[in-house]
Amino acid sequence: MTIVGNPFRPAAGSHGLLGRGPGRAVQPLRPDERIPVYRPYLGPEVERAAADALAVGWLGMGRLSRQFEEAVGERLGLVDRHVVSTNSCTEALHIAGRLIGLGPGDEVIAPSFTYVAGHQAITRTGAEVVFCDVEPANLSIDPARVEELITPRTKAILAVDYLGLPCRLDEILDIAGRYGLRVLEDAAHAFGSESRGRPVGSYGDLTCFSFGPVKMITTLEGGAVVTPHEQDVQVLHELRHLGVDSDTDARYRNQRNWEFDVVRQGYRCHLGSIPAAIGLAQLEMIDEFIDNRRLYCRFYDDAFRDLDDVQLFDTDWADVAPYIYVVRVTDPGRRHDLMRHLSDLGVATGVHFLGAHGFTFYADARRGDLSVTERVIEQVVTLPLHPYMDEGTLRRVVDGVRTFFGRDRLGQEATPR
C-alpha cells in the first residue's frame, strides 16, 4: 500500500515533524503507553506565560483578558466585529441567547447531533430546543430540514460546525433573514477554519468559540462571543459579569471600579488573567497546531481509503482546522468491537456525539425527521488527534484499525506527496 502525505519527514526548512519549531521538544509516547484521544500541548511557552501572569498578581479579568480578545480578533481578521471572552463556549452561547432575548415560549431549531452544552445553553434561557436532522456529508444542520420546522414560536437557529468543517452558514443565514430569525453559530470545533476564504467567526450573526481543554487552542477553560454589532458589546459585558454596568473597562486596566450600578440579570462567566495568558501563548503556536493536525488527518485518510468498512469525510482538510478525526463504521454493529479492539491495543477512542433527542431531559422536545442522525450516532468513532504526534503513535492507531478489518499493517515506508 502506498501512503501519500508522509507526516514524518520534515518539510524543507522545518525542524522535525511538520510545524515543530526550534526548541519545541515534545516527548513521544512510549510504545506501551496508552494513546489518549487528545493530548494538549502545554510546553515551556505556556508555563512561562502562566508564571509571568501570576507574577503580576492580578488573577481575575484584567488587561490580559482584553489582550486575548484583541488577539482573537486579529487572528480572525475581524472588521467591524467584536470579541467578548467568557469562561466557556457554553456560557458564550448562553449569554448570546440572552442577548437576543430568548425566553419562555421561544423555540430554537438545533441539531440533535452535537454536544448537549449547546442545548443546555438554550434551555437555560427558558426557550425550548427543536431537534433538526444533519446533512450526511458534513454532519452539520441540514438547511432544508430547518425550514420545515419553523413556526411562529421560532426565534433562532443554532448552527454547529462539526469537527472543524464549516456548516452551510450562508444558507442558514438566508433562511433566517426570510423569517426574521437570529443565528447562533456554535463554532466550538472550528477556530481556525475557513469557508470560501473567510475565517469562521468573521461573518454571519453571532459566533461562539471554545478554548476548552481539548480544543485547537486552550485557555484551560474558556470561550468567546463574536458579534457584528457594537451595541451588543456593552450588553454582553453586563451579562457576563453580574449585570454590572461600568466595571469592565477598569478591570481591563487591572483596576477596580467601586462606583457602579447593576442594570440587568447577569452571570459570572468572564475569562480571568491566567487563562487569558495561556490562550495568548497558544495563539502564537496555532499555525503549527493546525498544520500538523491537517497532515495527520490526511495521513489517516490515505491509510483508511481502501477500507470499505469505514466512511471518511470528503475533504482535503485545506481550509479546515481539525478539532477531532472521526470515521464512520459502515456496519454500526461493529463499532463497539472496533473500539474495544483499539482499547486492548492501548488506543483510546471516543464518540462525538450521541443524539440529544435520546436524553431523558429532552424526551418531550419537538423534532423533525432524524433519520440521518439516528444512523450516524451508531457509526461515529473518534480516533486520537493531537499536536505533534510521533510516527510510532500514528502507526499504532492506523494498524489497530486496519487489523480489526482484516487488512495488512501500514508499510514501513511512505511516499511523500
Which grid coordinates are listed for 246? 461600568
Q: Would residue 155 show up in a list of annotated catalytic residues for this protein? A: no
Distance CA 161, CA 56 (A): 37
∠ CA 314-319-321, rounded to 5°: 95
Name the helix (H) or strand (E) containing 371.
helix 371-376
Q: Which of 215, 237, 357, 386 is catalytic?
A: 215
* DSSP tag of 322: -
Distance CA 198, CA 368 (A): 31
Contact in structure between 169 and 159 (CB atoms under 8 Å): yes
For the chain, first and last CA: distance in Å?
14
- Rg over alpha carbons for the chain, rounded to the nearest Å, is 22
Compute, in degrees rounded to 10, the torsion defined by CA atoms 351, 353, 354, 357: 180
Contact in structure between 219 and 227 (CB atoms under 8 Å): no
Q: With H, G, I as helix, E, B as strand and everything else as coil, classify residue 291.
A: helix
Which grid coordinates are listed for 334? 461493529
Residue 257 CA to chain centroid, in angstroms?
A: 35
Name the packing angle between helices 286-304 and 273-283 (round to 10°). 60
Distances (CA, A) of 201 to 139, 174, 207: 19, 17, 6
Active site residues: 215
